[in-house]
Each structure stands twice: as structure tokens, then as C-alpha cells.
Structure 1
Amino acid sequence: MTVKKEVKLLWSYKIDKTERWLSEMAEHGWHLTGVNQWTRTFTFKKGNKKNVTYRIQYGPKSRSIPLTLQKEGWDTVVSEGRWLFLKNEEANISLYPTRDEVVRRNRTHAYIFSALAIFQLATHIPIILLSIVSLTSQDDSFFLEDSLWILLFLLAVGIGLAFFAIYVFKAYRRFELREMDATTDLISKGKKMRKFKLGWMYHLEETKTWLEKLAEDGYELEKVTASIFTFREIEPSNIKYECIFEYKVQPSFFTTHKEFGWKLKYSSNMTLLNYSIWAKHYNVDEPVPQFSYDKEEQKQSIKRAFKMNIGISFYLILLLSFSLYMNYSMDEPFITWSFSGVMRPLLLALLLFWVYMFVQILLSYRKSMREYKNY
């Protein structure tokens, strides 16, 4: 029996790519027989060349696949820890195993590594850099050489962790977009027009009305990049827009609404604290489509967005106020040609802006809730 082993260090963060690789191995006659999750080693046995579809699942240990999947031809190849490797040799497959747990697992890893990297960059890296600068000014060359090597090693570890966090997050996000069908619907025709709308996330109801008015004027939203809205010139149309905030997006969120004819125009990079914009065309003689026909659910959506936005603005006001206080000095003018003298007016401008935004969020929420007071 001919056996081959291959190592794939980061296979669990690119599940779809790993599945395709396993299928390609089967096409060349190498069939999966074992996986070591600690050494990241895949074991294959030589056999006949076959077309095999693989799916990788993650979940509780010692579990079996549902009977419905077994009837569709799915069979367990390897069970390793919480990983389950399934295969199907049928030509036409109509039912596939869900990978919600894989998405949740990789999402958790992405957030943990990102948090560690941010903490490392914000706390350790500045201290390490200052220590290096301090040491280079000393005369003790023996002590300097040993200390610098240690600090440079710690610096390399911090930077390496940051790059690894970026890799994990990008791999998870690409996989999640495909699995949750969170890709945006672009428009290929029509002259482009761009508009800048700062702080639109803090005025979701106003943003929705603004987009619908532009549709009546002949401009349909194509995509959103930060605060830049890209439109395509079309015939004046009736388009219903919805700007949604969710604390946590469920795996079926995007697919379900797309099945009802809604087109996704924007989704923020995280499924936690997620903002999204949806659009749906309708005729004049048709009822105006609703993202949700439950008025109580609509009210709760507005309340969720309000709590999130008011919390962010309040936090920024406190942070900017504290920073302004720490940079204030009675011994020098408010504006001077120094670092503190430049930072003070900048901090004050940002503070006034967020105070304005705070008031606008309150007024927008009050206006939105008045529309639903009869429900």
C-alpha cells in the first residue's frame, strides 16, 4: 500500500481551498485516510482516480452526520478532534453539509488574533521602540548588543503577530462572504457618480430617504466605500432602500433576503456589529416592499442602531475631552507652533463635531420613533 503525507500549516483558515485540494488529490488517485490536527499533516493512500467532493465540518466530538446527508451520498472519511472530513462520490449533489460552525470558529480566531495584535502594537511596540532609541545612546557596547537583540526579537514577534492576524482575518472574511452569500450586487452599466456622506451610519433612516430620492432622480446606488457612495445613472425609478444594523448577523441573513429579491449594496467587514444597505426595485402600481413587515421588529432595529451609535459617539466625546484636557496647559497659548499647540485645536474641532453628531443622533432617533408611535 502506497502512502503519502503532506503538511498544510494553515489549512483550517482556507477551508474551501483545502476542500478543492483534497478533490484534486483524489483525481490523481490519492485518497484522504487521516489528518493530524497538531502536526497539520494529511495522510493519503494510493488508489483509483476518482471524482470526489469533500466537505469539512467543525463541531462537537464523536458526532455522526445526519441521515438526510447519508442518503445524499455523504460519508465520513476522517474524524479528528472536532473536525469532520466528509466525501461524496455522486455526480450530482443536491444537498451539502452546513459550515456554520466553521464560520463561527474562524470568526472567533480572527477577532482574538486581531485583539492581541492591536494590544501588542498599541502597548508593547512603542515601549520597545523607545527602549531601542534609549539604548543606542548608551556607551556600553556589550550591554547594548545583547539588549538590542532581545528588543529586536520582541519587535519581530509583535510585527509577526500583526501580519498573522491580518492573514487570518482576511482569509476568514473571504470564506465568510462566500458561505453567507454576502457579496454585493454591482451594476455594470450607466455613468458613474460619486457622493460623499460623512457619518451616514449614524443617520440610517435619513440615509435611506436620501438614497430613495436619488433613485427618483435617476441614480441607483452601486457600492459604498467608507463614506463615498458610488451611483450609476439610470432611468428615474422607484427603489426601496433599507439601512440595517445588527448586533450579530446569522449565517442565513444575506441568503434569505436575497431570495426575496433584495440586492445587497453594502455590508461592513464584520458580522458582529454589522451595517448593511439593501435595495429593491418596484413599480408604481405595486405595494412598497418592506424588509420586514413586522412593525415591532422595525422599531427594534431602529433602537439597536440608536444604542450602538449613541454609545460610540458618547465614548468618543469622553475620549476627546480627556485628550484635550491632557494637552491643555495654562503656561502657553491655546494655539502655538508645537505638537500640543497643533493638537489642541484639532481635538477641539473633533470634539465639537462629535457633540454635533450626538445631538443629531438623538434628534434622528426621536423623529424615527414618532413614525411608529401608533404601532
Structure 2
Amino acid sequence: MKTYTKPLWSYDVQKTEQWLTNQAKAGYYLKELHRFKRGFTFEKGQPKDVTYRIAYDKIKPAILSNTMRNDGWEKVTQSGKWYVIANERPQAEVTTSTSRDAIIKRNNFIFYAFMAILIYITGATLANVALFTTATIASDGNVEVVESPLWIITYTGAALVTAFYLFMIYSVWKIKKTNKALSTENPSTYMAPYTLEKKNMTKAEEKQLKREGILIKRRKFGWMYSPDKLEKWLEQMAAEGNRLHRVNKLGTTFYFLKGEPQNIKYSADYQNLSNDSYFEIHRQAGWKEEFSSKGALQKWTIWSKEYEAGETAPALYSEQTHKLKQAKKVALSYTALFLPLVLMYIYIASLNTFYIFRNGGEWSIVNSNTIMFFICILLFGTFITKTWMYYFRLRRA
């Protein structure tokens, strides 16, 4: 028996699975998974090929279906919600596997938590820099450094925070990379990933169509805070004969091709987890993916579906309550993201304003900082307000 410790094994389950397979080829078979110790215990035996899969399930203990057991899978060990299954059959003969959705969802939770902490630490650091600048100006540049044996605590704390900050940056990068790999696994085992339909047109062809007035470009900034207004705008453009051609990667620029008026229903959908099955379900229902955001904090997809005149406009979801829950999720997500920044900027701006009035309103860099803080308060506050107005519009409807 021997035990290995791998602290960050869950950040890349595919790499860990391959490592377990390599251990089996060397004659060491997984015996036990230690969730809190982040370790794996192995038992010595004869070398052979074994395929391992790591899964995550809230239901404990995890039970394999008859289909998977008939396919040769056996559960090796479980620790908490994590469990490991193994299959000694040749990989070419294996037709089933575990779903990756639960792991991706768990990773997304960690991803968003770390992103929020990163944003807050960065914002707090910038706020402290602004306060230090204000204090330095207020004291005419006379900053006194007080010697103290407690500085070692400050330096140690700063080093720990810096190390944690770098760890979170690595975690965000690694988790995003892992989730991308998990969502595009072997199509023979999982549902084939749905890719956005390629609209084959070179940039030169687009430029020519723009010169001819056939291709038009419109910009929409911040539409994700009022997605229902974007849907109505796109539908109105289609009714006027302007068919959506494509959306740029940032989701801010929309390209339309002029043609005959059409009845097209658009739906902007927000999802924390948008795996292959999510796209496949809507595609099979006749919806077409026009845009999918690539950002870490905003998972938006714009869908479209044509319908005949006189028909009832289609709906992405059959129940209106689902749309309302989604709108509430949008409002809560952006509130959690922007509200702490608004409160922090209000506090700093109030201190700067007090300093400005105390000094008779004389212009200095403090005034410029204060103006920037008020702009940020107005901007982020507008984002929060728009999302809640979107929610209440749907609620009234």
C-alpha cells in the first residue's frame, strides 16, 4: 500500500484519471480516495490496463446504473460526493461513462467565488491606494513611517494575501481550461457538442456588402442588463427586413443583412452552466444559436426561431415562471457583483468630498479621483437598477 497526495487533483480530473490509469499499468490499483487529505491510496498487483473515471454526485452513496455495470464499470471508492469508477474492458469497447455536468457545475461555483474575491481584493487595493494618495496630498507629502515590531505581522499578512491572490488567479485559469475540456469530451461517449453555425463570409465580402448598403452594423452596449429590450429590438429589425447575420465576440456589435421582412422570435438566455446537452435540446426544438458569450462572468446565449405570420410566437421555455426565475438570477448575480463596489466607492467619495470642502474647494488630484468615483457609482448603480427593472417588467407581465 502506498499513498500519494495531490492537493489540486480536482482542478483537472481528466489528468488525474490518466494518472490513475498509468498507475494501474505500473501495477498499482486505486484502493481509496481521501477527500480532505487530498490523497490516493494504492494497492500493489499485476500491471494491466484499467480505465478510470472520476465523478461527483450529491446523492450518497453513488449507485451505478445497470447499463453502466453491464458495460463493465465498477465503483472503486467514494469519499464525500466524489467517487471513482473503473473499467478493465478495452476502451474501444466501452460505450458509456459518467456525466460531467456535476463537476462542471461545482467548478463554476468555485470559479465565480474566486472571481468575486479577486474583484473585491483588486477594488479594495485600488481604494486603499486612492485613500493613501488623498492622505498624502492632504499632508502636503509629509508621510511619517512609524517603526514598530508589529510590522512583521503586516509583512506576513501581505505575503499571505499576495500568495492567495496568485493562487486564485491560477485556480480561475485552470478551472476555466478544465471545464472547456470536460464540455468537449469524446463525442462517442457524450452527446456531440453543438457548434455555432458558420456564416461563411470573408471580411472582404462583408466590406463589399457594407459599401453596397446590404450589410449594416449596429452597436448595443450593456444589453445583458435589459435582455428583453434586446429581444424586441432584434425582432423589430427582422420585421423591417434586417436579418441578423452575426454578432462580434464581445457581443456588442450586431451585423444585419437587408432582405425581406421576416417573423423571427429572439430569446436572450442566461445560464450558469451551458453544456452540450443545453444547446442540443434547444437545437432539436428548432432554435438557432446566434451568439454565445465567452466571458467568465456572463454566460449569455442569443437564440432565434422563425415562425409564420398568424402563428403564435414560439417561446424558448414553455413556462413563464422559468423566465421569471432567470430574470431574478440575473438581477441577483449583477447585484452581488456590483453592489459592494458601489458601497466602497460611496465611502471613498464621501471622504474625498469632506476633504475638498475642508480645503475650500481648491482643485487637486483629489477632485479628479472623486469625479471618477462618482462616475463609477453612477455606472454600476445603473447596471444594478436596469437588471431589477428587467425582473419587475417580467413579473408584471
TM-score (norm 1): 0.68
Residue 86 of structure 1 deviates from its aligned partner by 0.4
Q: Against the structure 1 CA distance between its residues 27 and 316, is the aligned structure 2 distance closer, same or farther, given a 3 Å change threshold?
A: closer
Indicate the residue corresponding to 1:160 in structure 2: 163
2:172 aligned with 1:173: no
- SS for the counterpart of 1:293 is coil
Indicate the residue corresponding to 2:65 in structure 1: 66
Q: Against the structure 1 CA distance between its residues 40 and 177, is the aligned structure 2 distance closer, same or farther, given a 3 Å change threshold?
A: same
In 1, Cα distance between the equivalents of 2:344 and 2:146? 41
Indicate the residue corresponding to 2:266 in structure 1: 241
Output one character per residue of 1:58-80: Cα deviation in whole Å (capped at 9) or x when no partner. 34665543334212221122334
Q: Against the structure 1 CA distance between its residues 8 and 236, is the aligned structure 2 distance closer, same or farther, given a 3 Å change threshold?
A: farther
In 1, Cα distance between the equivalents of 2:220 and 2:48? 56
Residue 160 of structure 1 deviates from its aligned partner by 1.3
What pairs up with 1:48-63 in 2 under 5 angstroms? 48-50=47-49, 52-59=50-57, 62-63=61-62
Q: For 1:203, which of 209, 212, 226 is the aligned residue?
A: 226
Q: For 2:9, which of 8, 11, 20 is the aligned residue?
A: 11
Q: Against the structure 1 CA distance between its residues 170 and 34, is the aligned structure 2 distance closer, same or farther, given a 3 Å change threshold?
A: same
Q: Which amino acid aligns with 1:96?
A: S
Q: Against the structure 1 CA distance between its residues 41 and 53, is the aligned structure 2 distance closer, same or farther, given a 3 Å change threshold?
A: closer
Indicate the residue corresponding to 2:198 in structure 1: 187
Indicate the residue corresponding to 1:88 in structure 2: 87
CA RMSD, aligned part only? 4.9
In 1, Cα distance between the equivalents of 2:294 and 2:258? 26
2:352 aligned with 1:327: yes
Output one character per residue of 1:182-224: Cα deviation in whole Å (capped at 9) or x when no partner. 9873736324587643221122122223445666535423454
Indicate the residue corresponding to 1:290 in structure 2: 315
2:75 aligned with 1:76: yes
TM-score (norm 2): 0.65
Q: For 2:301, which of 277, 285, 297 is the aligned residue?
A: 277
User: Which sections of structure 2, spanning at least 5 residues, go unmatched?
Assistant: 137-142, 185-192, 207-216
2:356 aligned with 1:345: no
In 1, Cα distance between the equivalents of 2:314 and 2:177? 30
Aligned residues: percent identity? 21
Indicate the residue corresponding to 2:209 in structure 1: none
Q: Against the structure 1 CA distance between its residues 156 and 24, is the aligned structure 2 distance closer, same or farther, given a 3 Å change threshold?
A: same
- SS for the counterpart of 1:9 is coil
Q: Against the structure 1 CA distance between its residues 368 and 112, is the aligned structure 2 distance closer, same or farther, given a 3 Å change threshold?
A: closer
Q: Against the structure 1 CA distance between its residues 161 and 290, is the aligned structure 2 distance closer, same or farther, given a 3 Å change threshold?
A: same
Indicate the residue corresponding to 2:42 in structure 1: 43
In 2, Cα distance between the equivalents of 1:347 and 1:175? 37
* 8 A contact 1:31–1:47 mirrored in 2: no
Q: Against the structure 1 CA distance between its residues 23 and 362, is the aligned structure 2 distance closer, same or farther, given a 3 Å change threshold?
A: closer
- SS for the counterpart of 1:291 is coil
* 8 A contact 2:268–2:302 mirrored in 1: yes
Between the two proteins, the alignment pairs up a number of residues equal to 355
Q: Against the structure 1 CA distance between its residues 209 and 352, is the aligned structure 2 distance closer, same or farther, given a 3 Å change threshold?
A: same
In 2, Cα distance between the equivalents of 1:344 and 1:126? 11
Indicate the residue corresponding to 2:103 in structure 1: 102
Q: For 2:30, which of 8, 29, 32 is the aligned residue?
A: 32
Q: Which amino acid aligns with 1:40?
A: G
Between 1:359-368 and 1:193-202, the stretch displaced more is 359-368
- SS for the counterpart of 1:330 is helix
In 2, Cα distance between the equivalents of 1:120 and 1:357? 21
Between 1:249-258 and 1:322-331, the stretch displaced more is 249-258
Between 1:290-299 and 1:11-20, the stretch displaced more is 290-299
Q: Against the structure 1 CA distance between its residues 282 and 20, is the aligned structure 2 distance closer, same or farther, given a 3 Å change threshold?
A: farther
Residue 156 of structure 1 deviates from its aligned partner by 2.3
* 8 A contact 2:199–2:245 mirrored in 1: no
* 8 A contact 1:320–1:347 mirrored in 2: yes
* 8 A contact 1:242–1:278 mirrored in 2: yes
In 2, Cα distance between the equivalents of 1:109 and 1:299? 25
What pairs up with 1:211-230 in 2 under 5 angstroms? 211-212=234-235, 216-225=241-250, 228-229=252-253
In 1, Cα distance between the equivalents of 2:31 and 2:381? 62
Residue 81 of structure 1 deviates from its aligned partner by 5.0
* 8 A contact 2:244–2:254 mirrored in 1: no
In 2, Cα distance between the equivalents of 1:281 and 1:115? 35
Q: Which amino acid aligns with 1:56?
A: I
In 1, Cα distance between the equivalents of 2:305 and 2:200? 16
* 8 A contact 1:187–1:222 mirrored in 2: no
* 8 A contact 2:234–2:266 mirrored in 1: yes
In 2, Cα distance between the equivalents of 1:28 and 1:8? 18
